[in-house]
Amino acid sequence: MDFFIQLLSDPIGFWNSHTLLISQIGINGVVATSMFLVLYSGQLSLAAPGFMAIGAYTSVLMELHWHTPVVLNVAVAVILAGIVGLLVGLPVLRLRGVFLAIATIGFIEALHLGVILNVPITGEGLGLQHEADPLGGVPIILVSLVAVVFVVWRLTKGRLGSAWSAIRQDEIAALSQGIHVARYKMIAFIASALIASYAGALEAHLNFFVDPGDSQYGVTRAVQVLTFAVLGGSGFVIGPVVGALIVTLLPYIFEGAGDYINIIAGIFLIAVIIFRPQGIVGRGGLAIVRPAWWPRSRVSAPSPG
């Protein structure tokens, strides 16, 4: 509770004492937006942590070995992720639904276990350490978040967005209307890869350390990012950002739970998704579930015939 009291009573002190938390929320928001893009175009892709790893390792390795300026490092990292996104997307985007999800899990795990933990240049299990933070901390992250959300919001309002929406609702109908389904899906997939890799590069610079753990670039992270998007609501661009905010803050919201925080967090997750399957940000009210023993309300409908 102290956390929220400080937020309201002493915002400046709050900002100064929680910079790491605020930037983590910002980065999670950017990743969640990348997840939003693929979900909005009807693709259940969990590849984001893989592209984050590409962004993080490329930018940090360039800095460590070639001492190039940080802007160039991040740009190269993002472009590289786009190329990898194209190469992965070509075979994988023929799959749909759960199959796409599992294929992308295969991709991130093969990258994580096969490449990152096995190639000496990535520091293997030890990760990479690097010196100062060339970005200057929180402001750049929040500015990035706003910029990314704005660009994605504009995209969903335009021609691309209409095509993605049509594909999400009914792929065959979209195809019959002359929408080039494969092309638009690929655009969404690559755009999401670019954003995820940007977030990965930011995160690596924020933490002074590239951590090769499963909670960073493995399935655990993928599931977490999916939770941001679904919990927040994937119908509006702001939904996943709200989801990221709430999930990242859960340990503070349920501060009183102490050691049992994960139990409370899990129950909270189930409760939100049962009462609002469309997510926190979305149309409609609470879904009140009628238990089996509750009497059915009588509906007076004209009998047919």
**Mask for 254-283, x = binds another protein (CB under 8 A):** -----xxxxx-xxxxxx--xx--xx-----
Contact yes or no for 244/289 (Cβ under 8 A): no
Q: For residue 101, what are the contacts with CB-CB under 8 A and spacing of at least 6?
A: 44, 45, 46
| Shortest distance, position 291 Cβ to another protein, whole Å | 9
| Shortest distance, position 66 Cβ to another protein, whole Å | 27
Under the criterion CB under 8 A, does residue 143 sit at the interface with another protein? no
**Mask for 87-106, x = binds another protein (CB under 8 A):** ----xx-xxxxxx-xxx-xx
Rg of the chain, C-alpha, whole Å: 21
Closer to another protein at the Cβ: 79 or 270?
270
What six digits make up the tokens of 296?
């059915």
Closer to another protein at the Cβ: 130 or 276?
276
| Shortest distance, position 124 Cβ to another protein, whole Å | 8
Closer to another protein at the Cβ: 68 or 220?
220
Closer to another protein at the Cβ: 75 or 245?
245
| Shortest distance, position 217 Cβ to another protein, whole Å | 13
Measured between alpha carbons, how far is 250 from 272 in angstroms, rounded to an integer? 13
Binds another protein (CB under 8 A): choice among 114, 136, 139, 213: 114
Task: Decide: residue 21, CB within 10 A, 0-12 exposed, 13-18 middle, 19+ buried.
Answer: middle
Dihedral of CA atoms 227, 205, 69, 194 in degrees, nearest 10, equals: -10
Contact yes or no for 167/181 (Cβ under 8 A): yes
Measured between alpha carbons, how far is 90 from 184 in angstroms, rounded to an integer? 12
Which residues in this chain contact another protein in the complex, by CB under 8 A?
44, 91-92, 94-99, 101-103, 105-107, 109-110, 112-115, 117-118, 219-220, 223, 226-227, 230-231, 259-263, 265-270, 273-274, 277-278, 287, 289-290
